[in-house]
Amino acid sequence: MNTLPIKEKMNRGEFVVGPFIKSRDPAMVEIVGLAGFDFAILDMEHSALSIESVEDLIRMAEIRGIDSIVRVPEISESAISGPLDAGASGVLVPHVDTRKQAEEVVFLSKFSPLGERGMDVFARAADYSHLPKEKYLKQANRKTLLIVQIEGKKGVENLDDILLVKGLDTIFVGPYDLSQSLGVPGEIDHPKVTEKIKQVVGKVRKAGLSLGIYVDDVETAKRWIDLGVQFIALLVDTVIFFRACRSLIAPLKKEE
């Protein structure tokens, strides 16, 4: 069981690993925790997950001692405040291309004086008002992990300005969307893509933030970890299950 928050682990220079979760079944998150992963990314952008199901997945992450990061579908008050009020450890906000968008993410994710996140001191994240208001507000600002996703040429071009925004913790690279933006859709190992990602790694590390990336396999994860990437999103729960099923049945049903 991983009891140290990933934000603290990354601040200490460690790397953390976790999969995307698309399934509504809390058992998937429970297994992720039992297997030794550090976090689970609950994907509200590319799945059928609702805020009701996400809240149950967050509960299971807490039970098994891992962090819950919710990838929200858009930059809006309801999309960001909902998962945070439900108790998520942090949010991953996709398609951030400009400094203005990054500033809006901070504004919607942090309480005053860092922002103006919608204030519900009776939310689950505040233990339904059991936490004193002042403690909850300060604790939320300090503990919430705020990740913005750079996944297009425009975001890479504006990275220097984005990195000036106070309140961000991690820059996350989406290699598939980036490959499409660079004219080589799906070719995430293409030199155009890897070169852009390396540029991002260098700038983010120089700025003192942590960097995250999605990877399809362990070898790619090791390569990026060696280059200083600390937040590794490794595969998707449904893909992991599919591959496990195929590896079991394939030897029994060989083509004649």
- Residues labelled as active-site residues: 46
Contacts of 32 (CB under 8 A, 6+ apart): 18, 19, 21, 40, 64, 66, 237
Element (H, E) at 93: strand 90-93
For β-strands 16-21 and 39-43, DSSP reports them as parallel
The rounded distance, in Å, linking the Cα atoms of 210 and 218 is 20
Q: Which of 28, 61, 88, 70 is nearest to 172 (CA)?
A: 70
**Amino acid making up residue 64:** R
Residue with tokens 């070719």: 187
